[in-house]
Amino acid sequence: MNSRQELEQIAIRAAKEAGCLIRQKCGRAARMELKASEYDLVTEVDKACEEIVRRHVAEHCPTHQILGEEGVAPGAEASAKALAESREAEFLWIIDPIDGTTNFVHGLPYSVVSIGIAHRGEVVVGVIYDAFRDELFTARLGEGAYLNGERMTVSEEATLPQALLATGFPVDVRRARAINMRGMNALASTVRNFRAVGSAAMHLAYVAAGRLTGFWEADLNAWDLSAGSLLVQEAGGRVTDTRGTDYDLGVRHIVATNGRVHEELVKVLVESQATGYETE
């Protein structure tokens, strides 16, 4: 039986090994394939990084289950099925081997490894590693969030005009991107500004670190969100779906903030029909 601290250490070693490969290969992936469309990319490095994490889990926690992005067929339906089959596991490792694959393919150094560990459906450990900046974001449930070992807290901004908000533009060009554009339109005249680095996990880590006030995006998966959601909560922030319901592993449309601007942001998304639920 491993303690949460031991599980966190295993996840950190795996994330660092995978991160090393990401840094070496950024912009140099020999083989790139399209998944479901021209916009949904995967490289041999995504697969190799997932294998690295799987090897660490198999070696140290052979009884634990794994939900890894590259082990699941493309599309929301396959993701939902894979999650339903594994979410009740005693221990479940939820792996995004490269979050920010499009950046990785283009040589833009904004990609992270994201590993969440859930105990009976509740995330208890979250690890996000950015190998380009050697920044390690970690959290254990109830024990705070840390950046390279230093305690992190969310930012202080109390209103949308003070808020620096991040969003993302998913691969579903017809539906999900339009939803995020509606949200941006509704917020554009109010917020301090927008940022979008192309990695949902990195946005969440940055909300936890107080670098961003908040983040929202529609149509994501458990592997994009599990580790980062714990980071934000343990740093004193709030994580819900885009309607304001508390985060759980099944949430696909996310809002994560410092807590202070949360209700205001959810209200704008609901009123502008930018929650992602409208088209379901």
Indicate the annotated binding residues for Mg(2+).
69, 96, 98-99, 224
- Dist. CA 216–CA 275, nearest whole Å: 9
- Dist. CA 43–CA 84, nearest whole Å: 26
Q: Which range of residues in 56-64, 95-103, 240-248, 258-266 is near ligand 2AM by CB under 6 A?
A: 95-103
Q: Which range of residues in 4-12, 15-23, 155-163, 164-172 is near ligand 2AM by CB under 6 A?
A: 164-172
- Name the binder of 275 from ligand 2AM, Ca ion, none, CB < 5-8 A by kind: none
Give how many residues touch Ca ion by CB under 5 A. 6
Each residue 47-86 as x (binds ligand 2AM by CB under 6 A) or -, in order, gives ----------------------------------------
- Name the binder of 126 from Ca ion, ligand 2AM, none, CB < 5-8 A by kind: none
- Nearest-10 Cα torsion for 274, 154, 197, 71: -80
List 66's β-bridge partners, or say none: 93
Q: In the bound complex, what is the minimum distance in angstroms from residue 107's beta carbon to ligand 2AM?
A: 14
Of 130 and 219, CB closest to ligand 2AM: 219
Please report, for residues 30, 116, 182, 215, 244, the alpha-carbon distance to residue 137 in angstroms, rounded to integers and kept in the order given: 29, 12, 31, 17, 25
DSSP 161: G
43 binds ligand 2AM (CB under 6 A): no
130 binds Ca ion (CB under 5 A): no
Residue 261 contacts by C-beta under 8 Å, 6 or more apart in sequence? 157, 158, 159, 160, 163, 213, 214
Of 61 and 130, CB closest to ligand 2AM: 130
- Nearest-10 Cα torsion for 106, 127, 222, 181: -50
Q: In the bound complex, what is the minimum distance in angstroms from residue 35's beta carbon to Ca ion?
A: 7
Q: Which range of residues in 14-22, 98-106, 257-265, 271-279 is near ligand 2AM by CB under 6 A?
A: 98-106
275 binds ligand 2AM (CB under 6 A): no
Each residue 190-229 as x (binds ligand 2AM by CB under 6 A) or -, in order, gives --------xxx----------------x-xxx--x-----
- Dist. CA 104–CA 41, nearest whole Å: 10
For residues 215-234, which are near Ca ion according to CB under 5 A? 224
Please report, for residues 13, 106, 128, 198, 209, the alpha-carbon distance to residue 136 in angstroms, rounded to integers and kept in the order given: 11, 23, 6, 18, 11
Instruction: Say if CB 151 and CB 236 are below 8 A apart.
Output: no
170 binds ligand 2AM (CB under 6 A): yes
234 closest CA partner among 222, 226, 223: 226
The long-range contacts involving 238-241, CB below 8 angstroms and separated by at least 24 positions, are: 238/262, 240/266, 241/275
Q: In the bound complex, what is the minimum distance in angstroms from residue 42's beta carbon to ligand 2AM?
A: 8
Applying CB under 6 A, the residues found at the interface with ligand 2AM are 40, 96, 98-101, 168-171, 198-200, 217, 219-221, 224
Applying CB under 5 A, the residues found at the interface with Ca ion are 69, 96, 98-99, 101, 224
